Amino acid sequence: MEYFLQNFINALQWGSFYALIALGYSMVYSILMLFNFAHGDIFMSGAYIGFCIASLFIFLFGGVGAPGWLVMILTIIVSMFLTSFIGVLIEKIGYRPLRNAPRASAAITGLMIGIILETSNIAIFGTKRIAFPPLVETVTYNIAGIFITNKKIIIVAISLFLMAGLHFFIEKTKWGMAMRAMSYDFFIVPLMGVSLNVIAPLTFAIGSALAAAAGILYGLAYPVLDPYMGILLGWKAFVAAILGGRGSILGAALAGFLLGFIEIFTAMIFPSTLRDLIAYSIILIILTIRPHGFFGKAHSSSLRL
């Protein structure tokens, strides 16, 4: 039982990253009907921006003795803000000229932007691995044989808070309503005075900000940054976005956690060498039974990619 609960907590943390990144894929898809394959690298850029901001804050406030959690929250907010500009820039330079091009061209653009982000990162920071500063002192709680660190609690709490915030934004605000309308009809809504050139950058900004938050939380949990860290995680989060149903926000979040659970629990039950083989076979079976994912709408345009 302890063994199970320990893995449950491990999975909750690991799933948070998939969920936060999958949200970005799903949001962009719901508006523009394309998967932004540079998203994993936006996550990576967010982590590096977070590293710079955190180092700056530690340098500025280190002497004053500001508490770690305050520095962490400030780092997350500032990095989310800065990374959202990367998202907007990518939309403007990479995707807007291709908005009416075949979707495959747009997808390839995403891959190229990803490579540009990785290599420019290498140009700035070099290939050396970077240690993410430990913003919060790690405290390990032993509750009846289950080990929980304060970082795990922070990561899951912040992820859930951000997801709830996104849900509120989309369901309760005017901008959110515009986004929902846009995802409902890509051609008619702009005729009603809601400009796609506002909504699309906004979507990219929000998705990138979430990826940046994921990047910093990732840096807290796994404090070794490398320029290619976003590729594998990005692909797996993409799987989560598909699993949740293309364009479904709630689905992406839930599927992100589900993916985390499947990975952790297959490694718990089977030999870890077979982990990804078994985990992704399970997902393949789920998709065979439900080709549109859990919450996906079966409309014809979803086949455009």
Partner 1 sequence: MKKLSLILTAIFFTLFALSSSGWCWGKKKIIKIGINAPITGDIPKVGENTKNTAKMWLEDIEKAGGIEIAGKKYPVELVIEDNEAQAESAVKVNTKMITEDEVITVIGPQSSKQAIPAGGVADSYATPMISPWSTNPDTTKDRPYVFRGCFLDPFQGPMLANFVKEEFGFTKAAVLYDVASDYPKGLAEYFKQAWEKNNGEGSVVSYESFTTKDADFSSQLTKIINSGAEVLFVPQYYNEVALIVKQARELGWKKPILGSDSWGSSETITLCGSDCYGAFFSTHYASAGAEGITKEFIDRYKKKYSYVPDDVCALTWDSLKLAQKAIEALVEFSGDIKKDRENVKKNLAEIANFEGVTGNMSFTPDGDPVKCAIIVKISDAGEFRFYKSVCP
Among 140, 173, 195, 197, binds partner 1 (CB under 8 A): 140
Q: How far is the CB of 35 from partner 1 (least distance, A)?
A: 21
> Is 95 or 265 the residue whose CB approaches partner 1 more closely?
265
Beta-ladder partners of 141: 148
**Gap between the Cα atoms of 215 and 221, Å rounded:** 10
Which secondary-structure segment (H or E) carries 45? helix 39-61
Please select the residue that binds partner 1; options are 156, 178, 267, 283, rule is CB under 8 A.
267
State which residue, 196 or 231, has the beta carbon closest to partner 1. Answer: 231
> Nearest approach, Cβ of 89 to partner 1 (angstroms)?
27
- Smaller CB distance to partner 1: residue 107 or 226? 226
- How far are the Cα atoms of 89, 276, 290 from residue 108, in angstroms, in the given order? 17, 26, 27
CA angle 23/27/30 to nearest 5° reads 135
Residues 146-175, interacting with partner 1 (CB under 8 A): 147, 149, 151
Residue closer to partner 1 (CB basis): 146 or 160: 146
Tell me if 235 contacts partner 1 by CB under 8 A: no
Question: Closest separation between CB of residue 206 and partner 1, Å?
Answer: 25
Our finding on whether 18 is near partner 1 (CB under 8 A) is: no
Binding track over 191-230 against partner 1, x by CB under 8 A: ---------------------------x--xxxx-x-xx-
Q: Is the dihedral angle over the CA atoms 263, 264, 268, 271 positive or is it negative? A: positive
Helices 150-172 and 196-221 sit at what angle, rounded to 10 degrees?
Answer: 170
Greatest alpha-carbon pair distance for the chain in Å reads: 60
Site for partner 1 in 23-62 (CB under 8 A): none
Q: Collect all residues with Cβ–Cβ distance below 8 Å to 239 and sequence separation of at least 6.
A: 259, 280, 283
Question: Which residue number, 104 or 115, has a Cβ lying nearer to partner 1?
Answer: 115
Bridge-partner residues for 131, per DSSP?
Answer: 224
Q: Which two tokens stand for residue 172?
A: 């309760």
273 near partner 1, judged by CB under 8 A? yes
Residue 6: CB atoms within 10 A of its CB come to 16
Stretch that binds partner 1, among 157-165, 179-187, 258-266, 295-303 (CB under 8 A): 258-266
Stretch that binds partner 1, among 43-51, 95-103, 123-131, 189-197 (CB under 8 A): 123-131
Would you give the DSSP letter of residue 94?
Answer: I
The phi, psi pair for 65, rounded to 5°, reads 80, 35
Residue 138 interacting with partner 1 (CB under 8 A)? yes
Half-sphere exposure (CA, 13 Å, Cβ side) for 228? 3
**Footprint on this chain of partner 1 (rule: CB under 8 A):** 3, 6-7, 10-11, 13-14, 127-129, 131, 134, 138, 140, 142, 147, 149, 151, 218, 221-224, 226, 228-229, 231-233, 263-265, 267-268, 271-273, 275-276
